[in-house]
Amino acid sequence: MNEVVVKEEVIEETCNFTFKNGEYVEVKQEEVEQKPEHLLEKDIKTETNDDFFENNNSDEFSEDIKPEQRESDSKIENKMSKEACTFQCTICQKRCPRSSLKLITTFEDRTVLSEIFKVEGLVKTNPNFVCYSHIQTIINDNAGKLKLANAPSGKLLRSFITKNKKFIKERESRRRVCQVCHMNKPYCHIYEVSSIHIRVVLMTGCILRGTHSIDEAMNYITNNNGYTCYSHCKETIDKIFERLGVRNKLEFWNCPRLAMSDLVDIAKNFDSKFTVDQFVLAFSTLYMKKPKNVPSNL
């Protein structure tokens, strides 16, 4: 049985502040909102589960659900939206995979983010998802500048940076081997593909690009480990768009099913019963899992 090791994180100073009338004001002890013990315990469990054990970047595509024949584009879009586990960043409003986002639950963190990014209502809204890139931006812009900060705002920001620098370092230290390129990559750059249908679509793109043979593709599809770089997802999407002569997801959904017959023929090398509708649904789910901005160095 795996043992859960609870690390005690030491912050330089403990302080309670609130943001009023354009400045940070220290809150007296009796003004701090007190939560019942069982609610505090629930908050701690939520923060731990979401931040330190992010296993929600798998596709969660059910193989038992068979798409209806000749579904309309709107039905496919609705199914795809439910299947793709994406969340919206409160800062940039982009939808991203869960592994690209940090769950923000504390008042102090919400205050810092609200002040820096000028997001209206962020302080009052809980919880929030925020791209790790925004947190990294705060660290890059302010680290090393706040050692002598004595103002409440400076102390709050320093606490935010100290805590998140440690968390991001631990997060990036987790790595997985991509089963497409066989390179060791940070876990945050990896998509765990559990759906056989999505694996088939990914390998269809690899075969079109000439990077995999049928046998190599079959090894990937039948492997129990489906770790895949996000960059390969984007490469497959781009190649299939190019093959169909479309430029975006709307044109893909409106593309005649007959035009996809050669793609399905490739897929049938791995599953003789693979259908056009299965291809469309799997590709749509893959598209929704793709981050908006895939780093060029992946």
pLDDT at 146: 67
Whether 232 has a pLDDT exceeding 90, the answer reads: yes
pLDDT for 168-219, tens place per residue? 887 777 888 999 999 988 887 888 898 999 999 999 999 999 999 999 999 9
More confident residue, 265 or 60: 265
pLDDT at 272: 94
pLDDT at 260: 95
pLDDT at 86: 72
Whether 292 has a pLDDT exceeding 70, the answer reads: no
Angle between helices 230-244 and 276-289 (to 10 degrees): 130
* Phi, psi for residue 241 in degrees, rounded to 5: -60, -45
Specify whether the CB–CB gap between 252 and 283 falls below 8 A: yes
Of 32-46, 132-146, 254-268, the least confident? 32-46
Give the residue-averaged pLDDT of 106-117. Answer: 90
pLDDT for 236-259, tens place per residue? 999 999 999 999 989 999 999 999
* Count of CB atoms situated within 10 Å of the CB of 261: 11
Whether 39 has a pLDDT exceeding 90, the answer reads: no
Question: What is the Cα–Cα distance from 220 to 231, expressed in whole angstroms?
Answer: 16
Percent of the chain with pLDDT over 90: 36
Both tokens assigned to 43: 């908050």
pLDDT at 266: 96
Give the residue-averaged pLDDT of 53-70. Answer: 42
Whether 28 has a pLDDT exceeding 70, the answer reads: no
What predicted TM-score, i.e. pTM, was given to this entire model?
0.51
Give the residue-averaged pLDDT of 89-97. Answer: 87
Whether 131 has a pLDDT exceeding 60, the answer reads: yes
Specify whether the CB–CB gap between 223 and 87 falls below 8 A: no
DSSP string across 211-254 = S--HHHHHHHHH-S--EEEHHHHHHHHHHHHHHHT--SHHHHHT
